[in-house]
Structure 1
Amino acid sequence: MEQQKKAAGKKAGSWSLLMGAAFLMATSAIGPGFLTQTATFTNTLAASFGFVILISIILDIFAQTNVWRIIAVSGKRGQEIANMVLPGLGYFIAILVVLGGLAFNIGNIGGAGLGLQVLFGITPETGALISAVIAILIFVIKEAGKAMDRFTQIAGFVMIILTVYVAATTAPPVGQAVTNTFVPEHISIFAIVTLVGGTVGGYITFAGGHRLLDAGIKGKESIPQVTKSSVVGILITSVMRIALFLAVLGVVSKGLHIDESNPAASVFKLAAGNVGYKIFGL
């Protein structure tokens, strides 16, 4: 009985780690750029943006699953693997990831600052400072890994639920969206490349794979778990992308004007008034 309890506890812990890695990847991908890209491309391509999302999901799954499997089987981080392929390549990639991560995370902290401004009326600078302190505390806590797993899962669920709610309020033409997803009127290679890069580019795809490695999930025997976690991460991101796409499409189909200076915030406000605007901030 005691062994069964231990096995059940170990399985639950493993599942939590896998979901933590998946949500870490997804919430890393869903930043200010993600929201702006989705709103802007939907405004430009309308229902045909569904095709772009479909193709990007397929490419994302192949790319991320491949990277995570290699990391898990080798038991090494991305930069270490690159150095094995070509000496010095790992250091070059690490520099690119650090520079890209710095640039994108400045955007993320700025986005969090703007979000807190929407919610509480404080200045974006104060909001950014508060966000940075919260982020630092997550890593300072002794049990940082578990805290981060739980934090990203809660954040992920909240984002999806609220965005689905906003999408429902706009009553988008779902039939047209489904049709144009498979038979698009317009195809944008630029939009596909942008979405793939924004979802599995740079540090994002490494974040979840390295999280699994930190948790001790590695070796050939871990491939099924790693594959499942990788695909779930992409699907979480995709659900958010589709919900936001439908929300924007509902606004566009009604002929409402989207503010190009802040398209995502404008969509939430047009869709659900001040409540929608507060949801965007959250």
Structure 2
Amino acid sequence: MTTPKSKEHNWSVLLGAAFLMATSAIGPGFLTQTSVFTQQLLASFGFVILVSIIIDLIVQTNIWRIIAVTGRRTQDTANAVLPGLGTLLAALIVIGGLAFNIGNVGGAGLGLNVVTGLSPVLSAVLSAAFAIGIFLYKEAGQAMDRLAQLLGGVMILLTLYVMFTSHPPYAEAALRTFAPLKFDLFAIITLVGGTVGGYITFAGGHRLLDAGIKGVEALPSVNRGATSAILIASLMRILLFLAALGVVSAGATLDPANPAASVFQIAAGEVGYRIFGVVMWAAAITSVVGSAYTSVSFIRSPHPTIERYHTGITVAFILLSTAVFAAVGRPVTILLAVGALNALILPVALGTMLVAAQRRNLVGNYRHPAWMTWSGWLVVVAMTVLSVRTILTTLPQLFS
């Protein structure tokens, strides 16, 4: 029987998992992409956001449900579907997570630099120390949940303020969300990859598993958590889109070196620039925590020693990311190359989980809803085609 206390605990974990996934998605890249695409597509970017939200919901609910029903981490399920597949998936997740975490640490340094005036490198080191402190805390899971909820709420409220000060054309944004004048497939794959690609979609799913929320009986809660996570990330995306739209609609041009900072500064002056620093730091530090936690969760299964010392490995993951940033700065070519390859992780992972959902030895008597299965396979096919096209056009440019 579920007690009021256990219900309260489950809700806290679900909310924490939702915010962990959402804030993992809302990183420095998220802020930059949203600002750049708004400048390019104007109000029609609303349509891209709408399409990406639909795809994100399909991906997230499929993956979180199957993680819960199998009661296994994704790499273990993948290895059960095809020996070695989980190991390959784990390697891709960890490599991609490490590369992006270098950017996340750099983003945290930039945000703290704006707020305090300290050098970006020192700011990055202090931010990394803060993130490490979360994992060294005795109740690390609870601390991670609370941090994601607190900073996620701060980001949303501050961006909401900047949105109002930019005076966006709300009616035009609403109209073009359903009747766009421009359309960009690359923007869709970028948004989907940035929200549920790579390690991000597994952040909350693995967090629920570690908290013991699994099994068919937990599916209603898992559905709520998965949906809430996408809606939280999407709310932040919409607020930033409207803030940027207000700025560019007034005739302003965003600084290509830091388009997101331009949005905040043009909309709200010096106060806006300081707000950008807080939002950037909050977005980056929660992504550092989410990336480290999820990446290491993919290598905890192979050997009991890794499971026993996973906290130390997580700390080492953050230290390595920080050391690379401090030594060489943000390695743009590597980040972009891994980002292009990371786009393939989503269809591989989702396709694997959809196959697992049909395997009785993995899900027992559970029957995965037919609409989720066929919509999931549509996303797998579409994202595979788009990802391959992106890689073929992007990688030669990067290394030419």
TM-score (normalizing by structure 1)? 0.97
For residues 1-282 of structure 1, the aligned pairs below 5 Å read: 7-282=3-278
| Count of matched residue positions in the alignment of Structure 1 and Structure 2 | 278
Matches of 1:277 and 1:82 in 2, distance apart?
A: 45
The answer for unaligned runs of 5 or more in structure 1 is: none
Amino-acid identity (%): 64
Amino acid aligned to 2:81: V
Q: Distance in 1 between matches of 2:232 and 2:125?
A: 28
Q: Whose relative contact order is higher, 1 or 2, with alpha carbons under 8 Å and at least 6 apart?
A: 1
Aligned structure 1 segments of 4 or more residues deviating by more than 2 angstroms: none
CA distance in 2, matches of 1:227, 1:73: 12
Aligned mates of 1:176, 1:194 — CA distance in 2: 24
**Considering only aligned residues, what root-mean-square deviation do their CA atoms show, in Å?**
0.9
CA distance in 2, matches of 1:158, 1:22: 15
Structure 1 letter corresponding to 2:272? G
Give the Cα separation in 2 of the matches to 1:9 and 1:75. Answer: 23
Letter in 2 for 1:121: G
Tell me, in whole angstroms, the C-alpha distance in 1 between the residues paired with 2:155 and 2:84. Answer: 39
Distance 2:164 2:150 in 1: 21
- In structure 2, how many angstroms separate the alpha carbons of the residues matched to 1:161 and 1:185? 30
Cα deviation for residue 233 of structure 1 reads: 0.3
**Offset from partner CA, 1:130-162 (integer Å, 9 cap, x none):** 111111110011100111111100010000000
- Matching residue's letter, 1:77: R
Alignment TM-score, normalising by the size of structure 2: 0.69
CA distance in 1, matches of 2:183, 2:212: 42
Q: Give the Å deviation of 1:92.
A: 0.4
SS at match of 1:257: coil
- Secondary structure, in 3 states, of the residue corresponding to 2:3? helix
Amino acid at match of 1:281: G
In 1, Cα distance between equivalents of 2:87 and 2:6: 36
Q: CA deviation at 1:185?
A: 0.2
CA distance in 1 between partners of 2:199 and 2:259 (Å): 25
